[in-house]
Structure 1
Amino acid sequence: MDPEPLRGPVTLAVVEDHPVTVDGIRLWLSQDPGRRVELVASGPTVEAVLGGPGATADVLLLDLELDGVMIIDRVAELCAGGRRVVVFSGHREPETVLRVLDAGASAFLAKHESAEHCVDTIVAVATDRPYVTPTMARALISDDRPQRPRFSEREHLALLLWFQSMSKASVARRMGISEATVRQYIDRARVKYAKIGRPAPTKAALLARAIQDGLIRPEEVRDYRSFAAGGD
């Protein structure tokens, strides 16, 4: 089914070992005119946060580097249980972004993003919509593009509509084809990337690679700024 509209504030849990950063997060949440996100838990470790109210939060905002150690493996572990995870990091190299998305994260936020983009990303993830911030677009788009697969016009259209938060059933109706064909197009895209050594196991990873390769322009994605796992 298509993503549902937001009903009530999104609950957020934050894993961050620098109190000043948590204070900054509280500040940009308070600056959102609609107060769309409510911080319900924060702490320096995953265990501390998920051992209390954070266990049922809609979205987990996770610092990629805790106590000086990168925790991409922990991202995969958390996402495997179906949790919506947004990774928050000062590292914004394309390789880091793609590794995080490959691990299952719904979105990636650079720590210098504006308050507006941070809140918009969290809301997008909570409502299963895609989100690409301008910073992430700049990180992914470069003149030095790796080998990229070829897509037919129909494959490209199916992917674009899916990235625009449409469900596979909605894409099928829009294109006048079966839902099975839409799934085939998406699966085929993943196979094509896997064959050239660039697997894209999640929707977010597939979108990131499509943007990196110039196959999808960020402005073609709804609201321009979304980068999560939208639709089904």
Structure 2
Amino acid sequence: MVDDHRSPIWGVERILEDQLDLELVRAAATVDELLAGGANLDIVLLDLRLDDGTTPRENVNRLRDAGIGAVVYTSGEHPALLRSAAKAGALGVVLKSASEDEIRAALRAAGEGTAVLTTEWAAAIDGDPELAAVDLSPQLQRVLALYASGETSASVGEALGVTAETVNEYLKRIRQKYADAGRPTRTKIDLYKRAIEDGWLPVPERNQSGAEERGRHGTQDTGWP
């Protein structure tokens, strides 16, 4: 965890202390300090605003370069900073006001490579005045929505009456269109984010347990098709 205030760290320690599958193994006030202790980490819970002069984009990029996923931990008051973290490839956001179950669920999802797309995250992205529109044909929209929801190329092809190879060609076109718009889609999680941002998939809604819905079959990243 990276936070330059001790009280949030103490709170997360308590939330995770009796969890067999989750452990807070290191905490630091800056990303530099965290990485100086070694990079054998799965996920970093990253405070959005740090006092060392770094930006969310810079911090998320540093962690990504070290092979570590980042989940932003914030009060949600700064949508511009959330957008910056999103563009850098953060896995998602969890509010400091979230319930203990929501925080644990977010960390578990991120640890599995699943996007943590809360309504706050989607709202921040939706309000981005610099979000370049991407024009997809109805067929490409359907492919993106199905594949980003967790379907395989084969199952998307079966649903649309085309071959898996054709689906893969469609996905290449979709990735290229987003790359041309300055909104890269290196992973399946990125595709899911773009589908949410552009309205091809609905904004996640809270389920009865308070966790966020993340697609019909989840969005564990399987990389390129």
Task: Give the TM-score of the pair, scaled to structure 1.
Answer: 0.71
5+ residue gaps, structure 2: none
Q: Which residue of 1 aligns with 2:222?
A: 231
5+ residue gaps, structure 1: 1-13
1:60 aligns with 2:44: yes
CA contact (8 A) 1:64 1:88 kept: yes
Distance of 2:141 and 2:99 partners within structure 1 = 31
Q: Which residue of 2 aligns with 1:5?
A: none
Residues 27, 67 of structure 1: alpha-carbon distance in 2 compared, 3 angstrom cutoff: same
Shift of 1:82: 2.8
Give the letter aligned to residue 199 of structure 1. Answer: R
CA contact (8 A) 2:149 2:192 kept: no
Shift of 1:59: 1.2
Q: Which aligned segments of 4 or more residues in structure 1 are displaced greater than 6 angstroms?
A: none
Q: How does 1:1-232 map to 2 (within 5 A)?
A: 14-30=1-17, 36-52=21-37, 55-67=39-51, 69-71=53-55, 72-91=57-76, 93-141=78-126, 148-168=133-153, 171-172=156-157, 175=160, 177-195=162-180, 197-203=181-187, 204-219=189-204, 224-226=212-214, 230-232=221-223
When structure 1 is superposed on structure 2, of 116-125 and 159-168 the one drifting more is 159-168
Q: Which one has a larger percent strand, Structure 1 or Structure 2?
A: 1
Residues 173, 81 of structure 1: alpha-carbon distance in 2 compared, 3 angstrom cutoff: farther
Distance of 1:166 and 1:231 partners within structure 2 = 11
Q: How many residues align?
A: 214
CA contact (8 A) 1:162 1:171 kept: yes
Give the letter aligned to residue 4 of structure 2. Answer: D
* Structure number with higher relative contact order (C-alpha < 8 Å, ≥ 6 residues apart): 1
Measured against aligned partners, the alpha-carbon deviations of 1:125-155 in whole angstroms (never above 9, x if no partner) come to 2112233223223334469896633323332
Task: Give the TM-score of the pair, scaled to structure 2.
Answer: 0.73
When structure 1 is superposed on structure 2, of 163-172 and 206-215 the one drifting more is 163-172
